Amino acid sequence: MSTMMELVEELWFLKRDIVSDDFDKALHRLSEEIPMTIHEYPTGSQAWTWKVPEKWTCHEAYLESMDGERLIDYTDHPLHVVSYSLPFEGEVTREELLGHLHVHPHIHNAIPFVFKYYQRDWGLCASQELRDSLIDEKYRVVIRTSFDPGILKVGEVIIPGKSDECFMLVAHLCHPAMVNDDLTGVVVGVDVARKIFEGPKPEYTYRLLILPETIGSVAYLSDHEDLIPKMVGGLFLEMLGNHAPLALQQSMQPESQVDKTLIAVLRGCDPKSYVGPYRTIICNDERQFNAPGVRVPMLSLSRVEKPESIESLYQPYPEYHSSCDIPAIVNQERLEAARDTVIEMLHAFEKNRYVVNKFKGEVFASGFGIWIDYKENPEGHRNLFQIMERCDGERTVADIAIELRITFQTVWDILSTIAKKDLVTYSSTPKSTTPRREQV
């Protein structure tokens, strides 16, 4: 079994375009690490409003000066060719070439990641430095790509739970020769799944999807419509190895129990971590799950500089979508911290139920040996009493944590103490214990 960083090192440089041999290779390699079902969607299949594209292969590509000097070569770096570029061969003027030669907006020596899945155009990518050196009148371009019937693949790791209601974990694998975006999300997802497999049977069924961005999610969802009503929530994973705080992006239903739970867990993690509304941190496959007709509350977790930081000028991190996104900018420690946060979130969501009081009035804390003196520990005292006060069958653990602006774990620890005294029980549905009276 490989570590997350070992998987990153092994797979990162593959040309993992959305439907491609290298994507399949990477997915196959991951399936050796963890049991995986692979769903296949042939080119041309309809997926809701989408059509599965052809397999794309770049056999050879280069830019030469007229006297045969090789200036750009696909064999040097997969990013040198626009993903899904049309084939092209011929002599071009400098001006014509520049119209098809993409550079990175910030990093002068980086090759940018450019994709034109549906625009049907040819293109090359290079560093600004190389572009600046192109002063000849004419150049020779060779792009030998082919578009063939192929199969879009979605890997699904299923961890069966006591219930068939499922929690979705999603990461995409289709960013060629890059690491933080998107391979780190994949390996964190895999490691989270391995950890859940190790533990006791979970409450919910977990489904980790490893797929090409957007089209992979649409293909899977349209193929699993019956499953959609059973999806109780989800988390998209990406950019988890770089040097930036953890950022949790809310779903389109910020009042959902999933949102509340994950936020209340994050609050107990790295104090630099933060929460942002839907679509304000990063946009990925969670869009498909939050979309009309699906509406699964899916959040996303990533490492993104806060908007007010200098680094955020190069949103979401400096090396984003470039050939500088290499293994050196991520490390095992940060991947593990992200993995542990995800696991803590999932554990919390498993535990998040309505808290039903078996007591009435305030609990005789001294009598149960759970008294906390307010002079010695004012925060502990306040938490104890304000949590017990909210146990009424109408609030979940997460509701209480959000109301009191404290962590999920703080609430859970106190509830565990009083549950041991047989003072509360849990319910997956609301069970109000408030006496009925005329609304006054």
- Residue from 3, 65, 75, 433 touching its own copies (CB under 8 A): that is 433
- Residue from 155, 233, 234, 241 touching its own copies (CB under 8 A): that is 233
- Residue from 4, 34, 179, 252 touching its own copies (CB under 8 A): that is 252
Q: Which is nearer to its own copies, 184 or 249 (CB)?
A: 249
Interface with its own copies, residue 222, by CB under 8 A: yes
Name residue 142's beta-bridge partners.
62, 89
Interface with its own copies, residue 435, by CB under 8 A: yes
Positive/negative CA dihedral, 180, 17, 221, 192: negative
Selection from 273, 255, 293, 16 nearest residue 155 by Cα: 16
Count the helices and strands in the chain (H runs, E runs). Answer: 12, 18
Shortest distance in whole angstroms from residue 389 CB to its own copies: 6
Which x/- pattern, by CB under 8 A, does the window 57-96 give for its own copies?
----------------------------------------
C-alpha distance from residue 234 to each of 209, 228, 349, 380 (Å): 11, 11, 11, 32
- Residue from 386, 419, 425, 426 touching its own copies (CB under 8 A): that is 386
Under rule CB under 8 A, how many of the chain's residues touch its own copies? 61
Collapsing DSSP states into helix, strand and coil, what is residue 350?
A: helix
Interface with its own copies, residue 221, by CB under 8 A: yes
b/e for 167-200, b at 16 or more Cβ within 10 A?
Answer: bbbbbbbbbbbbbbbbbbbbbbbbbbbbebeeee
Residues 6+ apart with CB under 8 A from 79: 111, 112, 113, 114, 125, 176, 177, 178, 322, 323
Query: What whole-number distance in Å separates Cα of residue 260 and Cα of residue 105?
Result: 38
Q: Which is nearer to its own copies, 131 or 339 (CB)?
A: 131
Give the chain's radius of gyration (CA, Å): 26
Shortest distance in whole angstroms from residue 432 CB to its own copies: 9
C-alpha distance from residue 363 to each of 11, 216, 355, 424 (Å): 57, 52, 15, 11
Q: Which is nearer to its own copies, 200 or 292 (CB)?
A: 292
Q: Where are the beta strands (DSSP E) in 309-430?
A: 354-357, 424-427
Q: Which is nearer to its own copies, 119 or 416 (CB)?
A: 119
Residues 6+ apart with CB under 8 A from 216: 18, 152, 154, 172, 174, 209, 285
Interface with its own copies, residue 27, by CB under 8 A: no
Selection from 26, 279, 282, 368 nearest residue 175 by Cα: 26
- Residue from 68, 200, 271, 367 touching its own copies (CB under 8 A): that is 367
**Residues of span 270-309 touching its own copies by CB under 8 A:** 279, 287-288, 290-295, 297
- Residue from 68, 366, 376, 405 touching its own copies (CB under 8 A): that is 366
Q: Which is nearer to its own copies, 12 or 115 (CB)?
A: 115
Shortest distance in whole angstroms from residue 282 CB to its own copies: 13
Q: Which is nearer to its own copies, 148 or 225 (CB)?
A: 225
Interface with its own copies, residue 401, by CB under 8 A: no
Selection from 398, 400, 391 nearest residue 263 by Cα: 398
Interface with its own copies, residue 362, by CB under 8 A: yes
Query: What whole-number distance in Å separates Cα of residue 161 and Cα of residue 68?
Result: 61
Q: Which is nearer to its own copies, 68 or 369 (CB)?
A: 369
Q: Which is nearer to its own copies, 328 or 375 (CB)?
A: 375
Interface with its own copies, residue 258, by CB under 8 A: yes
Collapsing DSSP states into helix, strand and coil, what is residue 258?
A: helix
- Residue from 165, 311, 336, 344 touching its own copies (CB under 8 A): that is 165
Q: Which is nearer to its own copies, 341 or 352 (CB)?
A: 352
Q: Which is nearer to its own copies, 271 or 375 (CB)?
A: 375
Question: Widest CA span of the chain, in angstroms?
Answer: 92
Interface with its own copies, residue 405, by CB under 8 A: no
Shortest distance in whole angstroms from residue 48 CB to its own copies: 5
**Residues of span 104-143 touching its own copies by CB under 8 A:** 117-119
- Give the residues lining the site for its own copies (CB under 8 A): 48-51, 117-119, 165, 214, 217-218, 221-222, 225, 228-233, 252, 256-258, 279, 287-288, 290-295, 297, 357, 359-364, 366-368, 371, 385-386, 388-392, 423, 433-440
